C-alpha cells in the first residue's frame, strides 16, 4: 500500500517529515521536526480511513496525524 506522505513534506504547516520509524496495521510512525518548537518529534499517520476516521480515534484532533516529542 502506498504511503500518503513522503520525506520532505510538511504536515499541518509545522512538521517536516524526515523518515519512517515503523509501521503497523493502522498507521506509520515518522521521525519529523517540529519547525515551530525546533525539536524532533514522532508523527503517527493513519494508513486507511482518512482524516475523518483518525479524528474520531484521536479525540477530535484537527489534523489527520498525531505528534509526540522525540527523545534522543
**Structure confidence at residue 31 (pLDDT):** 94
Please report where in the chains the cell 519547525 appears, as a residue: 35
Please check whether residue 16 is in contact with residue 8, taking contact to mean a CB–CB distance below 8 angstroms. yes
Q: Is the pLDDT of residue 37 over 80?
A: yes
Beta bridge partner(s), residue 68: 42
pLDDT tens profile 41-71: 998 888 865 554 444 444 444 455 666 766 5
Q: Which residues of 4-24 are buried (b: 16+ CB within 10 A; e: fewer)?
A: ebeeeeebeeebebbeeeeee
CA distances from 72 to 22, 40, 50 (A): 16, 8, 30
Query: Can you give the pTM of this predicted structure?
Result: 0.67
For residues 21-47, average pLDDT: 91
Amino acid at each position: 500500500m502506498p504511503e500518503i506522505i513522503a520525506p520532505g513534506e510538511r504536515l499541518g504547516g509545522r512538521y517536516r517529515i524526515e523518515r519512517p520509524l515503523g509501521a503497523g496495521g493502522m498507521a506509520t510512525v515518522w521521525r519529523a521536526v517540529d519547525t515551530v518548537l525546533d525539536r524532533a518529534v514522532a508523527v503517527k499517520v493513519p494508513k486507511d480511513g482518512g482524516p475523518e476516521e483518525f479524528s474520531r480515534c484521536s479525540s477530535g484532533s484537527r489534523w489527520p496525524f498525531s505528534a509526540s516529542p522525540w527523545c534522543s
